[in-house]
């Protein structure tokens, strides 16, 4: 199974391709899309294009994305929701099934504890998968965690129906 894991963001979007199964996940590729500051439609077009490129290049079986978590900053939440929309549109265009996971589900899958902090998740990732020695942003590590969570999902149910490409 090959999963495209996404940590949605408006300023930085974490992406990772993880394959195998929950007992032996392997990171094929990971990175961050960082749309340039500017108009929302231009930023979201970059998100759509980056996801489309990752799908075309790596041919994942499904896309896994973290559900939206609203904190006190509604403006940030709206931007992240828009970025999620661009990700979902790209997956829909490609006919890729989408699985959504809450932050707690991801934390449980990676650390075994749903209330773990971001640091605990980041420290656990290198214990679960072999990573090349380079610095990674939190968003990239979170995308790896989301993909690992999806590999551990025994009964995945697509949250978004596939649509035929026209």
- In the annotation, is 100 catalytic? no
Catalytic entry in 66, 100, 140, 142: 66
DSSP per-residue codes, 124-161: HHHHHS---SS---HHHHHHHHHHHHHHH-SS---SB-
Active site residue 139: yes
Question: Looking at residue 42, what DSSP letter applies?
Answer: H
Three-state secondary structure call for residue 19 = strand
Q: How far apart, in whole angstroms, are the C-alpha atoms of residue 94 and residue 1?
A: 17
- Give CA separation, 34 vs 29, 31, 46, 146, 166, in Å: 16, 10, 8, 19, 29
The number of beta carbons lying within 10 Å of the beta carbon of residue 55 is 19
7 is an active site residue: yes
The one catalytic residue in 139, 140, 142, 153 is 139
Residue 135 to residue 100: CA distance in whole angstroms: 27
Residues noted as catalytic: 7, 66, 139
């Amino acid at each position: 199974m090959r999963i495209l894991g996404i940590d949605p963001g408006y300023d930085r979007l974490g992406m990772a391709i993880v394959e195998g199964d929950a007992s032996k996940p392997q990171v094929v590729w990971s990175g961050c899309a960082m749309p340039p500051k500017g108009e929302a439609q231009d930023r979201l077009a970059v998100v759509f294009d980056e996801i489309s490129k990752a799908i075309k290049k790596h041919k994942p079986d499904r896309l896994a994305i973290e559900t939206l978590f609203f904190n006190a900053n509604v403006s940030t939440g709206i931007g992240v929701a828009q970025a999620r929309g661009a990700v979902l549109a790209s997956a829909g265009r490609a006919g890729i099934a989408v699985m959504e996971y809450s932050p707690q589900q991801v934390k449980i899958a990676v650390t075994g504890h749903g209330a773990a902090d971001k640091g605990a998740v980041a420290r656990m990732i290198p214990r679960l998968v072999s990573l090349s020695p380079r610095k990674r942003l939190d968003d990239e590590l979170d995308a790896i965690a989301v993909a690992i969570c999806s590999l551990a999902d025994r009964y995945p149910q697509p949250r978004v129906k596939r649509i035929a490409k026209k």
